[in-house]
Structure formats: structure tokens, C-alpha cells
Amino acid sequence: MIDFGYTLTRDRQLDYDRGDFRFLRIVRAMEPSLDVCIGCGSCTATCSAGHFTGFNIRKLHTLIQRGDNETIKAELKKCMFCGKCQLVCPRGVNLRNLILAMNRAIEQLG
Ligand code: SF4
Ligand code: SF4
């Protein structure tokens, strides 16, 4: 095969009709402040785990809305539960409770 100096990236398209939104419903019920997030990224910029592992808490918000639960399960283990993200959130999202809610939703759904 000819080496063009670049490669094709993996298809990241998601089918919303196939998304599993049970996770979103459980988490939203436990922590409604999820819905006031404006995606500013302050939480991710200050995240302790992010400095060591590339963990991206803002990305989890997007993944919940997309119903990409498997990726969330793998990523959530990286959180150190330090709470720094919550201190800097301009919208007052209760991020520590949100992370707890995500863990509980994983337990509920198996
Ligand atoms: S800091 Fe708050 S508003 Fe900004 S992305 Fe994080 S949760 Fe959303
Ligand atoms: S609680 Fe988790 S997501 Fe928030 S700053 Fe700490 S390690 Fe990052």
C-alpha cells in the first residue's frame, strides 16, 4: 500500500437511535445540575486525574448525552474524587455528586 504520510482516523459516528439513554436518565435524576453545564472546560483544565491520565470530565458530559456508556465506564475509574473540578465550575455543577451518580448508575445497570 502507498504511504501517503497520514492515516485515516477511526469512524466516531454515533447512532442516536441505538444509544442507551437509561444511564443518562438515572444520572440526571440523581444530579439535575448536569443540565446546566455550558461545556466551558474549566473542570477539565483543573482536573488532578487529567494531569496524570488524560481523563476528561467534560468529555464525560458529552458521552452521557450520546449514550456512550461503555466509554464512560472505562474512563470513570480514573477520577481521584478530589473535588477540584467542582470548585472552579462557573455554573455550580455538583461534579462530585455527578461522578458518584455515574458510579451508582453503572452499579444499577450492571
Ligand atoms: S466547569 Fe462546569 S460548566 Fe464548565 S464544562 Fe465543567 S461542568 Fe460544565
Ligand atoms: S474529582 Fe475527579 S474529575 Fe474532579 S478534579 Fe478531581 S479527579 Fe478530576
Tens digits of per-residue pLDDT, 21-44? 898 999 999 999 999 999 999 999
Please report where in the chains the cell 442516536 appears, as a residue. Answer: 16
pLDDT of 15 above 80: no
> For residue 18, what is the DSSP state?
G
- Ligand 1 atom 7 nearest Cα: 37
Q: Is 76 exposed, middle or buried (0-12, 13-18, 19+ CB in 10 A)?
A: middle
Per-residue pLDDT, 62:
86
Assigned C-alpha cell, 31 = 444530579
Nearest-ligand number for the alpha carbon of 52? 2
Ligand 2 pocket check for 57: Cβ under 6 Å: yes
Show the domains of the chain with their CATH numbers: 19-109 (1.10.1060.10)
Reduce the DSSP state of residue 15 to 3 states and report it: coil
The CA distance from 44 to 18, in Å, is 28
Per-residue pLDDT, 82:
94
Ligand 2 pocket check for 85: Cβ under 6 Å: yes
Per-residue pLDDT, 46:
96
The CA distance from 110 to 107, in Å, is 5
The CA distance from 101 to 11, in Å, is 30
Reduce the DSSP state of residue 101 to 3 states and report it: helix
Tens digits of per-residue pLDDT, 60-95? 988 888 888 888 888 999 999 999 999 999 999 999
Per-residue pLDDT, 42:
96
